[in-house]
Structure 1
């Protein structure tokens, strides 16, 4: 394993630390890559670089013009993720990728244990016991582990569960398979304790998608039947889903979306840059929120039509690489994992924006860029 591969594994560890530390850690890795003349060539060969960095440059200009300093800082996160993605593409190998997935799965165990500790502390502080498994509605009284909030941690768990499926298929050792299954169940249990209802929605699709991609036809059909049974059970007993009776957050989202549409109508071309909503809502006395709680609305709101087109162009080029590379033929499990990640983002995006943070943004970005390992030379 060379130095670059070791740096990728180190960066993976940083993702499970608070975002401030993770950002500095990954920035340091990029500095060493630049000093070793690795980064410039990586950017030159990065798929869709013209669209990605045009978008980032546009957002820097827009945020400065509108004095959107939160958005300006957020744009630096785009730079960080984009540059790390370039370095990742140049340095990743098939064997290192498998090690990276295993490392993420192992780190998720420690994150989950810390999450359980938080849950116990929250329960005791509010006159409950751990075994009551009472999940509070207040964001401040929900577990976050080492991440910014409960919903971001829940998305990380979604990603980890998909990785467990991937490694379950790829590893032939029966004891390892059992281990991946146990870790996935453990993470799913902690996911339930986060109280994130949105994070449960992708599970209706990720199992069938993955099983279809790896060509396990019987299990694919079985998973659909089981999913329908679970949906029927939830329909009959909605209390199985945490915080299901609380509709106040959905009502808040309706207010947020109305405010967002006002801003879109006023600044349709470029928006005000990342986190436009946070800067705009006080001006019209809208509902307080850091973003529009919908990735589709927030994209138009923050980046405008022009910025969103650049994002879509980059997405198109990246997806073209995924589908035209040999990934689907040589590693159908990786192709399935990519499809599951896309499904998670699209479904989660209906009610939240959780990719604008180091852990989720970087993790999703590098997985979707992993088809570079299977491009025809």
Structure 2
């Protein structure tokens, strides 16, 4: 009997170890998926789109990852919301919206997956990876401007987009990377000189892509970081530098920022687009016409306007008042959770970055819609997934411990 009992006990132990190993293997696989998602952002946009869509489909079709996604609160409501607007787009014959709707569903599922599995260690490592990968986009931009243009007059680049579709998308990515570099420096993580170098390279990238509002993103994002981290002297110096720059540009009439002289013409075109969008919103104020409504409705008049150049008007034309209110309520709940963790629980690391990038994105969103693209949206979603580092901490700590044990074997 003792021998049989010993064998049974040994069998149970072996089975438990096998289960732990399966968990570790899954954990490592999930980590790789998150790293692949972020790495794809810095690929040429066609390859980025193919890889991200492929990863999103895998997460939905895989039984284990699908369970992880739908274990998240509100995941089913997100799916129902986006599925409803797929139907709306189909009813209007808005094929732009059908394609974009599927893309948004996959993007949200990737975000929920990242949030459910995110740990502080993984989050910070991937942020460092983002900064390092931005060197490739900066190098690409510099080579486009100063090497390819000199070698061949046919490729005469005025505004640089690197591996992104449009210079403004490149501007948003570079502005976000600069904010991440500032976050790493202010929170004393890693080699400061490395983040200074990467930050300077991305400042050069903003100059080359000539995205005017990217400068505003950088100012707002770093300002929020300094305020939350209570670095008041640096904040005062930062504001002084900004006001000095404004004085030099407008009072002394010195062109520090490229294309600023075109701001009046750019704004005039924006107002023209906004008037069109407001007119179309009035036709279906409650539920909108589905995603990419601006492109769909403008194409009927043989003038393709990709988006409304305002994140707020775009939400209204796409999802109407009802859909916009649902989105707003959901985001306010998320924001309340982050603010509670940041100010009530005094957890300013990670939350300061989330709030900084969010503030920058939504200020930029007043005059442009660079957030919803196959490379900018995944980066924004990854940064928002940082809230997952404050959820299920004990379970995630055990996973990290098991992984370290596996590597040490």
TM-score by shorter chain over 0.5: yes
CA deviations on 1:284-323 (whole Å, 9 max, x unpaired) are 57x6421111111111112111221121122122212212
**CA gap 1:328/1:10 in 2 versus in 1, 3 angstroms:** farther
Secondary structure in structure 2 of the residue aligned to 1:2? helix
- Aligned equivalents of 2:231, 2:345: Cα separation in 1: 15
- Select 2:42's aligned residue among 16, 26, 39: 16
**CA gap 1:126/1:269 in 2 versus in 1, 3 angstroms:** farther
Tell me if 1:349 matches 2:365.
yes
Residues 245-284 of structure 1: pairs in structure 2 closer than 5 A: 245-246=261-262, 247-283=264-300
- Select 2:329's aligned residue among 305, 309, 313: 313
Higher Cα Rg: structure 1 or 2? 2
Corresponding residue of 1:228:
243
Tell me if 1:209 matches 2:235.
no
- Select 1:194's aligned residue among 196, 209, 226: 209
**CA gap 1:59/1:124 in 2 versus in 1, 3 angstroms:** farther
Tell me if 1:87 matches 2:87.
no
- Aligned equivalents of 2:259, 2:165: Cα separation in 1: 20
**CA gap 1:84/1:172 in 2 versus in 1, 3 angstroms:** closer
Corresponding residue of 1:291:
307
- Aligned equivalents of 1:70, 1:215: Cα separation in 2: 45
Tell me if 1:161 matches 2:178.
yes
- Select 2:383's aligned residue among 348, 361, 367: 367
- Aligned equivalents of 1:152, 1:328: Cα separation in 2: 35
Which sections of structure 1, spanning at least 5 residues, go unmatched? 130-134, 137-141
Corresponding residue of 2:193:
178
Alpha carbons 1:163, 1:337 under 8 Å: kept: yes
Corresponding residue of 1:65:
91
Alpha carbons 2:351, 2:386 under 8 Å: kept: no
- Select 1:339's aligned residue among 349, 352, 355: 355
Alpha carbons 1:48, 1:317 under 8 Å: kept: no
Secondary structure in structure 2 of the residue aligned to 1:245? helix
Alpha carbons 1:238, 1:244 under 8 Å: kept: no
Which sections of structure 2, spanning at least 5 residues, go unmatched? 1-26, 394-409
TM-score, normalised by the number of residues in structure 2: 0.82
- Aligned equivalents of 1:309, 1:57: Cα separation in 2: 17
Alpha carbons 2:342, 2:351 under 8 Å: kept: no
- Aligned equivalents of 1:316, 1:50: Cα separation in 2: 18
The 10-residue stretch of structure 1 (117-126 or 360-369) with the greater mean CA deviation from structure 2? 117-126
The 10-residue stretch of structure 1 (116-125 or 203-212) with the greater mean CA deviation from structure 2? 116-125
Alpha carbons 2:140, 2:162 under 8 Å: kept: yes
The RMSD of aligned alpha carbons is 2.4
**CA gap 1:46/1:317 in 2 versus in 1, 3 angstroms:** farther
- Aligned equivalents of 1:51, 1:219: Cα separation in 2: 42
Secondary structure in structure 1 of the residue aligned to 2:125? helix
The 10-residue stretch of structure 1 (231-240 or 159-168) with the greater mean CA deviation from structure 2? 231-240
Corresponding residue of 2:161:
144
**CA gap 1:127/1:228 in 2 versus in 1, 3 angstroms:** same
CA deviations on 1:69-90 (whole Å, 9 max, x unpaired) are 1111111110111110111112
Aligned residues: 364
TM-score, normalised by the number of residues in structure 1: 0.89
- Aligned equivalents of 1:128, 1:4: Cα separation in 2: 41
